[in-house]
């Protein structure tokens, strides 16, 4: 099964350009949660005037997110996590989100 590792490394366009970047965005949001919270709070407090009054919070949030989006280490971590999930799916036939969710007791 030595050739199998090379197959695992081959990513389709949608995996490389859509699915893994989506994981990166989700992780970046978690890593910037304090900035997300500050921006959200500012928007809630300022309503219609948020566009003007929350510029600083918005800029801090964008800077934090962009820094993580460009982080090749984070991309590689997400890629490895994706490959592990894909391999598990191929082995079990159960998507990772379904494995993590509890099955409702009554259907």
- What are 62-75's pLDDT values in tens digits? 999 999 999 999 99
Residues 6-58: pLDDT tens digits? 444 588 999 999 999 999 999 999 999 999 999 999 999 999 899 899 999 99
> Is pLDDT at 98 greater than 80 in this prediction?
no
| pTM, rounded to two decimals | 0.72
Ranges of H-type helices in 10-101: 13-14, 20-31, 33-46, 50-53, 55-69, 72-92, 96-100
The shares of helix, strand and coil residues in the chain, as percent rounded to the nearest 5, are 80, 0, 20
Q: Within 13 A of 52's CA, how many CA atoms are on the CB side?
A: 4
Query: Which position has the higher pLDDT, 104 or 17?
Result: 17
Would residue 52 be called left, alpha or beta, if left means φ above 0 and alpha means ψ between -120 and 50 degrees? alpha
């Amino acid at each position: 099964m030595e050739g199998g590792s090379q197959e695992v490394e081959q990513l389709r366009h949608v995996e490389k350009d859509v699915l893994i970047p989506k994981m990166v965005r989700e992780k970046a949001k978690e890593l910037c949660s304090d900035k997300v919270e500050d921006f959200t709070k500012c928007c809630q407090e300022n309503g219609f005037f948020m566009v003007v009054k929350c510029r600083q919070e918005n800029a801090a949030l964008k800077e934090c997110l962009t820094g993580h989006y460009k982080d090749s280490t984070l991309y590689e971590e997400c890629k490895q996590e994706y490959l592990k999930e894909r391999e598990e799916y191929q082995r079990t036939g159960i998507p990772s989100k379904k494995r993590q969710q509890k099955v409702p007791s009554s259907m």
